[in-house]
Amino acid sequence: MSYFRHHIFFCLNERPAGQASCAHNGAQDAFDHCKARVKAEGLAGPGGVRVNKAGCLDRCAGGPVAVVYPDETWYTFVDREDIDEIVESHLKNGRPVERLMLPPDIGR
Ligand code: FES
């Protein structure tokens, strides 16, 4: 059994002006909101969910992005409601959110 049931990594990287960059598209707010929601739902900690900052995940063109392990599910999102849905559906109930999944061909 793994230490955390789910690990979600948010790219908070800031790339130079003019380049696709998660930091320019609300990544910090999404990270902060996710961390708060996971804690409020009682999901944080060993056996539960860990929300982590990450540097560039090399999928900048789809940013902001986050990835959930061990499921290898990549997400892109727009607002806090999207984060709420990821927390409720995937991190709490184990049902990935199809509509927010990052298309497989999106790279840097
Ligand atoms: S800047 Fe976020 S994936 Fe590269």
Q: Would you state the pLDDT for residue 42?
A: 98
Residue of 2, 4, 10, 20 lying closest to 86 (CA atoms): 10
86 lines ligand 1 (CB under 6 A): no
67 lines ligand 1 (CB under 6 A): no
Domains of the chain with CATH codes: 6-100 (3.40.30.10)
Segment 61-79 mean pLDDT: 96
CA of 92 to the centre of ligand 1 (A): 26
Residues contacting 44, CB < 8 A, separation 6+: 38, 50, 51
In contact, 56 and 11? CB cutoff 8 Å: yes
- Give the amino acid at 41: E
Can you tell me the distance from the alpha carbon of 107 to that of 69, in angstroms, rounded to the nearest whole number?
Answer: 19
Residues contacting 93, CB < 8 A, separation 6+: none
Share of the chain above pLDDT 70, in %: 100
Q: Would you state the pLDDT for residue 54?
A: 98
Share of the chain above pLDDT 90, in %: 92
